[in-house]
Structure 1
Amino acid sequence: MDMKLRFAEKKDLSLVLQFIKELATYENLLQDVTATEELLDKNIFQEKKAEVIIGEVDGVPMAFALFFSNFSTFLGKPGLYLEDLYVKEEYRGQGFGKQILSFLANIALKREYGRIEWWVLDWNTPSIEFYKQIGAIPMDEWTVFRVTEDKLKLLANG
């Protein structure tokens, strides 16, 4: 099967949200999804804070990746941060994930980015093994911190 990759368009909003919810279901995190088509439209298509690519086989959407630019002070260059990569279950194990990562690597090189980064849940052994096979290095010595909702408001108020 041949996969075609394309950048998402505004008409794909419901599809993007569907993929987000499918990924969240796979990760047992559906209850945490508060994204709406309106929020995605504002942040992806109007304000261009992120980009989305869609993978299709025979015209059927079967994968997506959402990414945005970050910056490395050590490299002095921007990087590509991959927020989500999702391939529908029936299409897994056929090389489509690697094709998507290759597509993103080409974007990073074309834009003169210094690296691509992403997170993966500790229990997601199939993904971890796949990422190691393509040469990705786990950053085990780093701990992710997050401030959200009420704590974010408290922090903002000093």
Structure 2
Amino acid sequence: MNRFPTSYTRMADVTYRHAEKDDCDEIMRLIKELAVFENLVHQVNITSENTSQLIGYLLYFWSYATFTGRVLYVEDLYVSQNNRRKGVASALWAFAMKVAVAKECKRMQWVVLDWNTDAIRFYQKMGAVDLSKKEGWLIYRLNEDDINAALTL
């Protein structure tokens, strides 16, 4: 059962599919919208080239949990302001869950900003659990400058 779900799914007059190279400019536009929404524009350091009208995206990658196995890690779930509350996020999330099942993932994992109450409610509605409260996990990060500084210690 290691196959991806069907690439194209139609729901609520919107097509959900894996991104293609020609989507780069539109994905970049959405990433910039997300950065504005999260007050993190100063952290956007990537660029793109290309076209078409996208209204949202879900970026994921594979991770691995020592005790359980493969993990689908969700880096971003973003829907443009004008397209929220229309089932787009739910459809993107369902698509990601189908990918996780098809790839035999043992769990999905992500982080969310503590002030983003709409997202928190959405994830809780999906059955997600806040690990900082349940298991006491804290999230740490080293940025590029921090990594380089640590290497000089």
Same structural fold, with TM-score higher than 0.5 when normalized by the shorter chain:
yes
TM-score normalised over the length of structure 1: 0.81
- Whole-angstrom distance in 2 between the partners of 1:156 and 1:107: 37
- Whole-angstrom distance in 2 between the partners of 1:4 and 1:153: 42
- In the alignment, which residue of structure 2 is the partner of 1:103? 95
**Residue type of the alignment partner of 1:63:** G
Residue 132, structure 1, aligned to residue 143, structure 2:
no
- Whole-angstrom distance in 2 between the partners of 1:13 and 1:127: 25
Note the aligned Cα RMSD (angstroms): 1.6
Moved over 3 A (4+): none
- In the alignment, which residue of structure 1 is the partner of 2:140? 145
- In the alignment, which residue of structure 2 is the partner of 1:70? 63
Q: Secondary structure at the match of 2:75?
A: strand
* TM superposition shift of 1:88: 1.0
**Residue type of the alignment partner of 1:13:** C
- Whole-angstrom distance in 2 between the partners of 1:34 and 1:28: 14
Q: Secondary structure at the match of 2:17?
A: strand
**Residue type of the alignment partner of 2:84:** R
- In the alignment, which residue of structure 1 is the partner of 2:108? 116
* TM superposition shift of 1:155: 2.6
**Residue type of the alignment partner of 2:33:** E
Q: Secondary structure at the match of 2:46?
A: coil
* TM superposition shift of 1:19: 1.0
- In the alignment, which residue of structure 1 is the partner of 2:7? none
Higher strand share: 1
**Gaps in structure 2 of 5+ consecutive residues:** 1-11
Q: Percent of pairs identical after alignment? A: 36
**Gaps in structure 1 of 5+ consecutive residues:** 39-58
Structure with more contact order per residue of length (Cα contacts < 8 Å, sep ≥ 6) = 2
* TM superposition shift of 1:4: 1.0
**Residue type of the alignment partner of 1:11:** D
- Whole-angstrom distance in 2 between the partners of 1:35 and 1:60: 19
**2:41 aligned residue (30, 46, 55):** 30
- Whole-angstrom distance in 1 between the partners of 2:14 and 2:72: 22
Deviates more, 1:92-101 or 1:148-157: 148-157
The 8 Å contact of residues 56 and 80 in structure 2, kept in 1 or not, is answered as: yes
